[in-house]
């Protein structure tokens, strides 16, 4: 019996852009459909406007940027 270790997958969130996913063999979309990856790094849509979902097509560049949310001050 061989035990395979799961691949290490790293996800980086690009500011106002996609998720960059490194090391994944498959990306499962919101409908449960598996999409095979053929590159070491893939860009996954985070804005929801891509015409190539789940992949990023750069549509986020046409959307208005959202200002960062200010952090709540912690008072002691």
Q: What is the pLDDT of residues 13-69, one digit of tens each?
A: 998 899 999 999 999 999 999 999 999 999 999 999 999 999 999 999 998 877 767
Question: What one-character DSSP code corresponds to residue 30?
Answer: T
Q: Is 22 part of any domain?
A: yes
Number of domains in the chain: 1
Q: Are the C-beta atoms of residues 9 and 19 closer than 8 Å to each other? A: no
* pLDDT for 36: 96
Q: Is 50 part of any domain?
A: yes
Query: What is the extent of the structural domain holding 54?
Result: 10-59
Q: Is 69 part of any domain?
A: no
CA 54, CA 28: separation in Å to the nearest integer? 8
Q: Is 3 part of any domain?
A: no
Question: What one-character DSSP code corresponds to residue 15?
Answer: T
Task: Please report which confidence band the pLDDT of residue 71 belongs to, taking 50, 70 and 90 as the band edges.
Answer: confident
Q: Is 70 part of any domain?
A: no
Q: Is 5 part of any domain?
A: no
Q: Is 26 part of any domain?
A: yes
∠ Cα 34 35 38 (to 5°)? 145
Q: Is 54 part of any domain?
A: yes
* pLDDT for 3: 57
CA 51, CA 70: separation in Å to the nearest integer? 32
């Amino acid at each position: 019996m061989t035990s395979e270790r799961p691949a290490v997958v790293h996800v980086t969130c690009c500011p106002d852009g996609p998720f960059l996913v490194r090391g994944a063999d498959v990306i499962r979309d919101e409908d449960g459909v598996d999409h095979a990856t053929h590159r070491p790094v893939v860009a996954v849509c985070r804005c929801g406007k891509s015409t190539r979902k789940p992949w990023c097509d750069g549509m986020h560049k046409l959307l208005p940027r959202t200002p960062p949310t200010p952090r709540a001050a912690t008072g002691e």
